[in-house]
Each structure stands twice: as structure tokens, then as C-alpha cells.
Amino acid sequence: MAAGSGDSFEGGIKLQSKKNLKEPNMYRVILHNDNYTTMDFVVEVLMKVFHMPAPRATQVMLDVHKTGRGVCGIYTYDVAITKVDEVHSMAKAREFPLRCSCEKV
């Protein structure tokens, strides 16, 4: 076997090494403003779902309130979708129309 070919033998089985690994796509999770969801509930969501400390959660909540949207974090697709679903479940349980989405970075 030629040196540096990327293949190796282990126990009589030819193994191929993967050289072309690429980083997963990342997604930004965003909360959207509405006129009904309370600021306290938004802070609660940010602390529980996104594990933010209270001061950071308050800052993101103010971003949502003032600009119409706030970034909660950047995650891989599966994690981002799970976070969006968690937000929607919490909002539905408390009868708030809070919306959350994700977009590719």
C-alpha cells in the first residue's frame, strides 16, 4: 500500500478514512414581537429554553420589544428546530401567541 493513500488495513478489513468532513450548517433562532405576550413570559422562555441568565434574557426581550425580533442563539438545525418547538409549546400552554423561528446563518 502506498503511503498517504488514506486507506488502512485492520484485521484484514480495508478501512477508508473520511477526509471531506464539513461543518454542519448553523441556524439563528429568533423570537418575534407581538402585542399580547408579556415581557415577563418572554424572559422566562429565554431563561428556561435558552438557558440565559436574567440580565441577558432581559436584554434580548427588550430587543424583541423595540425592534420586533431578538436573536436567542445559533445552533445546528436539529437543536434550533427543537428550541423553536419548545418555545411554541410553552406559549401555547400559557395561551400566548409568541412566535419563534429559525433562519440559516
Domain ranges of the chain: 22-104
Give the per-residue pLDDT at 25: 96
Q: Name the architecture of domain 22-104.
A: 2-Layer Sandwich (3.30)
Cβ-in-10-Å burial (0-12, 13-18, 19+) of 99 comes to middle
Residue 86 has pLDDT above 80, yes or no: yes
- Report the 10 Å Cβ neighbour count for 84: 21
Q: What span, in angstroms and rounded, lies between the C-alpha atoms of 47 and 38?
A: 14
Give the per-residue pLDDT at 19: 75
Give the per-residue pLDDT at 20: 81
Q: What is the pLDDT of residues 16-70, one digit of tens each?
A: 666 788 899 999 999 999 999 999 999 999 999 999 999 999 999 999 999 999 9
For 74, residues 6+ apart whose C-beta sits below 8 A from its C-beta are 26, 27, 28, 29, 105
Give the per-residue pLDDT at 14: 73
pTM reported for the whole predicted model: 0.79
Residue 78 has pLDDT above 90, yes or no: yes
Model confidence band, residue 5 (pLDDT cutoffs 50, 70, 90): low
Give the per-residue pLDDT at 53: 98
- Report the 10 Å Cβ neighbour count for 11: 5
**Number of residues written out for the chain:** 105
Give the per-residue pLDDT at 91: 98
Under DSSP, is residue 75 helix (H, G, I), strand (E, B) or coil?
Answer: strand
Question: Helices 77-93 and 39-49 sit at what angle, rounded to 10 degrees?
Answer: 140
